[in-house]
Structure 1
Amino acid sequence: MKKKSVMLVLILALSSVLTACGSYKFEPEMNIEVQDFSVTNQKNEQVSLDTFKGKPWLAMFIFTNCNTICPPMTFNMTEVQKALQDEGVEDYQIVAFSIDPEVDKPDVLTNYLKSYSVPDASKWQLLTGYDQKFIEQFAMKSFNSHVKNDPNSDQVIHMGSYYLVNADGIVVKDYSGNTEVPVETIVADMKALTK
């Protein structure tokens, strides 16, 4: 019994030392400068790239009429936000670019966000106020992300990734946002970038 107790104390002490040493080191995997933009958010306010500079942000591409991956991506992002809150990470934004801006007006985006259990809506920026051609080119140039209207339906073809943008407006990493979302890694990366 004593031997087990001593082992448990040693294991706990070792894990404390490793945690204290900050064994996690953030490694950027991408280096893409986000192009400047001036758009409208769900509150009908003008925002630009400068609005987000100075703190890291998580970006994604969604649309409110999506009948495939957008609902799970949005739900998964609320789970990421809960985990960020649990770890005390405060200084960040979540930025969702609508890829169907003709339909996704500010009030539509506001109602869309209300349909999810968002831990802190003040951190969310759902963006619109541009045309389809702009968002398709912007997604490719700024995030290396494919966005394309489906000519045979009301759907938009797009990727299911989250993108981590640093405080300088550089995309440094991407993650799956649809299935097997690496929540712990995202939180660790955000913590590293907010220090």
Structure 2
Amino acid sequence: MKWKWAVLLSALMLFLAACGADTVEEFNYTDHRGEQLSKEDLEGTPWLATFVFTNCETVCPPMTFNMADLQKRIEASGLSDYKIVAFSVDPKEDTPEKMREYLSHYPIPDENKWHLLTGYSQEEIAEFATENFKSLVKNDPNSDQVIHGTSFYLVDQQGKVIGNYDGFENVPAKEIIEDMQQLTQ
């Protein structure tokens, strides 16, 4: 049954991604270090964005592992000017402490590049994800889980979403790195 939801969600994400996105709206949230991070703080730096939560029982652990592996490849390619921003889709449960603990379970090459964000309501992140990344965030009425997209997004130095990639099963690491390299040329 879970695979049917995954297929349906993937189809919806592809449809929404085809609609495109403009520039990410202003935000100012709390990261896993307890520090504020705003869109303004990211200006001038390309960043990878995704949506996860620490209590996830399905897609988030592999997505986080995939992002850590992607970061290892980014570092090996010589790129150093980038950030990774993961928005919690369960902000009520995901405190900075809980997110820090979650991240500690993954082979992160450079944790300083990461910002796991919280500090907003469930309604705010659902609207933010839809409006800025054309991505679904919705509470599962039958469990404590949150239904959300499994994409990695590349955001350029001006805050425009320029790439949407599979972050769950077939991460196109080479394509992402090439796209990031084009941003820094």
Same fold? TM cut 0.5: yes
Could you say which residue in structure 2 is the equivalent of 1:44? 34
Question: Once the 2 structures are TM-superposed, how far is the Cα of residue 30 of structure 1 from its aligned partner?
Answer: 4.1
Rg: which structure is higher?
1
- Per-residue Cα deviation, 1:68-99 (whole angstroms, up to 9, x for no partner): 11001000001110111111000000000000
Instruction: Give the AA of the match of 2:112.
Output: S
User: What SS does structure 1 have at the residue aligned with 2:168?
Assistant: coil
Runs (4+) off by over 6 Å = none
Question: Once the 2 structures are TM-superposed, how far is the Cα of residue 35 of structure 1 from its aligned partner?
Answer: 1.1
Could you say which residue in structure 2 is the equivalent of 1:142? 132
Instruction: Give the AA of the match of 1:126.
Output: L
Could you say which residue in structure 1 is the equivalent of 2:92? 102
Distance in 2 between residues matched to 1:120 and 1:89, nearest whole Å: 12
Task: Judge conservation of contact 1:64–1:112 (CA < 8 Å) in 2.
Answer: yes
Distance in 2 between residues matched to 1:124 and 1:139, nearest whole Å: 19
- Per-residue Cα deviation, 1:29-64 (whole angstroms, up to 9, x for no partner): 944210111110001111111011111000000000
Task: Judge conservation of contact 2:24–2:161 (CA < 8 Å) in 1.
Answer: yes
TM-score, normalised to structure 1, is 0.84
Count of aligned positions: 167
Task: Judge conservation of contact 2:20–2:134 (CA < 8 Å) in 1.
Answer: no
For structure 1, the 5+ residue unaligned runs are 1-28
Q: How does 1:36-185 map to 2 (within 5 A)?
A: 36-185=26-175
CA RMSD of aligned residues (A): 1.1
- Per-residue Cα deviation, 1:98-149 (whole angstroms, up to 9, x for no partner): 0000110000000011000100000000000000000000000010001001
For structure 2, the 5+ residue unaligned runs are 1-18
TM-score, normalised to structure 2, is 0.88
